């Protein structure tokens, strides 16, 4: 028996025979065409065919998994039509007199390297996407479909591959594919996201342990722990057969919790909300029966735009979420750009320590023309649902007052234009700096609620850059210092009769649920998939 350790990205246990698909790429040959302009036309024709293929894949994905996951292929189509991408390929063909296949492959490598070098983990994961779409164009140019991981040979198998592109993942036949393991990949990749959506146990990052010779062997994969057992012995096999049955029963029982109140056996109630980044994520919020949205990361509207998102664009996004959520509260965080979330058109200067730099509320207060556009959109959307506004990275009372002054100016403008909005809209702040904890009593007198961002609070309290993997052992969110900060914030909020919640990753940590209940937190906002497991833990407390 051999044991391999990777990174689990989609929970569940699969037991079956390994299938290693023949998807190995081949070297793209460099040729010197006689007529470069004809080669440009070959590329354009292949690109158009690839766009048409992606349209079909998008429609299939929307029908099976919903519009939210189908948007990936809209992004892929935009990549193929991106002027910089197209210009790079066509310039390479004409200036270097190379064939279209070589130009596409070279541009893909260049763009992928650019994405991989970015500080933002979301943008790093786009390196796989640009390679995926480029491989599609090359396949069209070469007149072949290429190998596909979707073909398991007719039997139920566990896929073992170097990597899986998102387009390959979405085409996996769930009646035959039990799960998959890859040598490479990212937990933030669309492949990992799709695996969770499809309910497929998945493990990435096994590296050099990937061995095509394992094809046909029996394996056990645990998508929670990231463990792979090749040719498991009888004891291991029996153990994981039992775990698999327990996991499936657990999922069944969780579904029975839909519609039931989130309260302990003693009657202590907690509001259980969900975190989202896009309007399309609301489907998962509703499917998992969250009671509201505790964090809508509005910066994704900026990160995924090539230019400033207009007031109308933002208004439509906020209104869509508010309407879909009905009476349930939707807390929208104003843009949190900066630090690890960089946007080119903001033209932010390079900073040696961006986590302590020009970001979030600091940008909004010094560039009010940007802030006002978002506030107008938020206020207008508040007429269509139960919206609250949340300000990030607050360190002082003056920042809150300055932000509220700008908000009041926008309200006056809307009243003057006879534009409807919620006059009683709640305004809250993120508690994510030691300064905000120390000033919590004064801040609580200014706002309607606190929401604790445990990721940044841990970073700033422990002086540990959360983007630095070398500090993982020191950046302990369970630190007594961090938990004491949380307690201080909760107590200050309750002294001033406002509610206090958590919207950081720690909220979904079941090992801390007891602590959070004892601290008296009013609300926990977690990823949609964590809602039912957390409700189960609270109801059994």
Q: What is the CATH number of the domain that holds 174?
A: 3.50.30.10
208 and 63 in a common domain: no
Tens of pLDDT, residue by residue over 70-114, are 777 888 888 898 899 999 999 999 999 999 999 999 999 999 888
For residues 318 and 353, state if they share a domain. Answer: yes
Tokens coding 76: 């892929």
Residue 147 has a pLDDT of 44
In this structure, the answer to whether residues 111 and 165 fall within a common structural domain is no
Query: Which member of 364, 464, 500, 503 is catalytic?
Result: 503
User: Which of 119, 141, 163 is the C-terminal boundary of a domain?
Assistant: 141
Strands of the sheet containing 157-161, edge to edge, are: 2-5, 227-230, 218-222, 13-19, 157-161, 177-182, 202-204, 7-10
For residue 193, the model assigns a pLDDT of 79
Active site annotation includes 190: yes
- Which member of 76, 190, 364, 464 is catalytic? 190
For the chain, residues with pLDDT lower than 50 are: 146-147, 152
429 and 321: one domain? yes
- The predicted pLDDT at position 339 comes to 59
| Shared-domain flag, residues 449 and 510 | yes
Residues 6+ apart with CB under 8 A from 497: none
Q: What is the distance between the alpha carbons of residues 256 and 247, in angstroms, rounded to a whole number?
A: 15
Closest by CA position to 299, among listed 196, 370, 200, 209: 370
Does any domain span residue 130?
yes
CATH number at 135 reads: 1.10.274.10
Are 92 and 212 within one domain? no
Does residue 64 sit in helix, strand or coil? helix
Residue 244 lies in a domain: no
pLDDT of residue 493: 98
Helix axes 190-198, 67-80, angle to 10 degrees: 160
Which residues share a beta bridge with 29? none
Residue-number span of the structural domain to which 195 is assigned: 2-23+147-236
Domain count, the chain: 3
C-alpha count within 13 angstroms, C-beta hemisphere, residue 503: 29
Instruction: Note whether residue 102 is domain-resident.
Output: yes
Query: Domain end: 183, 211, 236, which one?
Result: 236
503 an active-site residue? yes
Within a 13 Å sphere around the CA of 337, how many CA atoms are in the beta-carbon half? 24
**How far apart, in whole angstroms, are the C-alpha atoms of residue 201 and residue 365?**
45
Handedness of CA 281, 286, 287, 291 (dihedral sign): positive
Which value, in Å, is the radius of gyration of the alpha carbons in the chain? Answer: 25
Q: Identify the CATH number of the domain in which residue 528 sits.
A: 3.20.20.60
Q: Are residues 407 and 528 in the same domain?
A: yes
Together in a domain, 518 and 406: yes
Q: Identify each DSSP E strand in 121-226 by its residue range.
A: 157-161, 177-182, 202-204, 218-222
Per-residue tokens: 87: 């210009």
| C-alpha distance from residue 63 to each of 67, 69, 112, 174, 282 (Å) | 8, 10, 30, 15, 17
Same domain? 201 vs 89: no
Residue 231 falls in which region: left (phi positive, over 0), alpha (psi -120 to 50) or beta: left
Q: Let me know whether 69 and 216 are in one domain.
A: no
Both 366 and 492 in a single domain?
yes
CB 406 within 8 A of CB 368: yes
**Full-model pTM:** 0.65
């Amino acid at each position: 028996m051999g044991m391999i350790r990777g990174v689990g990205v989609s929970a569940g246990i699969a037991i079956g025979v390994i299938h290693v698909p023949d998807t190995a790429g081949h070297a793209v040959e460099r040729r010197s065409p006689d007529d470069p302009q004809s080669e440009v036309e070959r590329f354009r024709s292949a690109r158009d065919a690839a766009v048409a293929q992606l349209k079909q894949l998008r429609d299939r994905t929307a029908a099976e998994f919903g519009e939210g996951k189908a948007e990936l292929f809209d992004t892929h189509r935009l990549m193929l039509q991106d002027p910089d991408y197209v210009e790079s390929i066509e310039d390479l063909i004409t200036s270097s007199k190379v064939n279209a296949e070589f130009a596409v492959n070279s541009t893909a490598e260049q763009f992928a390297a650019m994405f991989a070098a970015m500080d933002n983990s979301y943008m790093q994961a786009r390196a796989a996407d640009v390679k995926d779409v480029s491989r599609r164009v090359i396949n069209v140019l070469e007149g072949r479909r290429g190998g596909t991981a979707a073909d398991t040979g007719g039997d139920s198998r566990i896929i073992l591959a170097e990597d899986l592109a998102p387009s390959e993942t979405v085409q996996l036949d769930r009646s035959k594919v039990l799960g998959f393991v890859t040598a490479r990949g990212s937990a933030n990749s669309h492949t990992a996201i799709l695996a969770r959506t499809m309910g497929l146990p998945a493990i990435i990052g096994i590296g050099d342990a990937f061995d095509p010779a394992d094809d046909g062997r029996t394996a056990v994969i645990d998508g929670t722990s990231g463990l792979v057992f090749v040719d498991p012995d009888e004891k291991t096999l029996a153990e994981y057969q039992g775990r698999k049955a327990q996991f499936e029963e657990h999922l069944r029982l969780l579904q029975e919790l839909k519609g039931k109140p989130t309260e302990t056996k003693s009657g202590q109630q907690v509001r259980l909300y969900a975190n989202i980044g896009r309007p399309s994520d609301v489907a998962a919020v509703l499917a998992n029966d969250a009671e509201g949205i505790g964090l809508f990361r509005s910066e994704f509207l900026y990160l995924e735009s090539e230019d400033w998102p207009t007031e109308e664009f933002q208004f439509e996004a906020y209104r869509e979420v508010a309407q879909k959520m009905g009476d349930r509260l939707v807390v929208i965080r104003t843009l949190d750009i900066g630090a690890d979330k960089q946007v080119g058109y903001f033209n932010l200067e390079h900073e040696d320590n961006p986590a302590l730099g020009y970001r979030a509320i600091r940008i909004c207060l010094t560039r009010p023309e940007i802030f006002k556009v978002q506030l107008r959109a938020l206020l207008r959307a508040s007429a269509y649902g139960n919206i609250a506004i949340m300000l990030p990275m607050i360190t002082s009372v003056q920042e809150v007052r300055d932000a509220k002054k700008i908000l009041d100016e926008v309200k006056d403008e809307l009243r003057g234009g006879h534009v409807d909005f919620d006059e009683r809209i709640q305004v809250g702040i993120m508690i994510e700096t030691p300064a905000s904890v120390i000033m919590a009593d004064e801040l609580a007198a200014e706002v309607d609620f606190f929401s604790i961002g445990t990721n940044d609070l841990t970073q700033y309290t422990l002086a540990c850059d959360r983007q630095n993997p070398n500090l993982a052992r020191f950046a302990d969110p369970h630190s007594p210092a961090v938990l004491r900060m949380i307690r201080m914030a909760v107590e200050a909020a309750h002294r001033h009769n406002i509610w206090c919640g958590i919207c950081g990753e720690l909220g979904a940590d079941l090992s801390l649920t007891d602590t959070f209940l004892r601290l008296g937190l009013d609300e926990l906002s977690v990823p949609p998939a964590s809602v039912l497991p957390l409700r189960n833990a609270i109801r059994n407390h």
